[in-house]
Amino acid sequence: MIATHPDADHVGGLDEVLKAYKVESVYAPKVSHTTQAFKNFLLAVKNEKLTIKTEKVGVSLPLSLSDTSLSIFIYPSRKKTKWEK
């Protein structure tokens, strides 16, 4: 699961997804928010005994259903990727 940011329109409902599906990893930026949706998300992560991994520039996640991977690019970043000049 990837939460791009803690606004309610992006994390709202992720608590229900965590309850309904087997989620192996949770990625989210290292930020905080005061909405109930964000609090519900954090509680659901805790209840599933998962930890939130911080997204970093260039992280590549293997997708378990194929030989495809997902690369994550977070901006702004101080580190340039191999695609930037």
Q: Assess contact for 53 and 45: CB atoms under 8 A.
A: no
Q: Quick check: 42 pLDDT over 80?
A: yes
- pLDDT > 60? residue 25: yes
Q: Mean pLDDT lowest for which of 13-17, 40-44, 63-67, 75-79?
A: 75-79
CA distance 12 to 9: 6
C-alpha closest to that of 2 among 57, 64, 55: 55
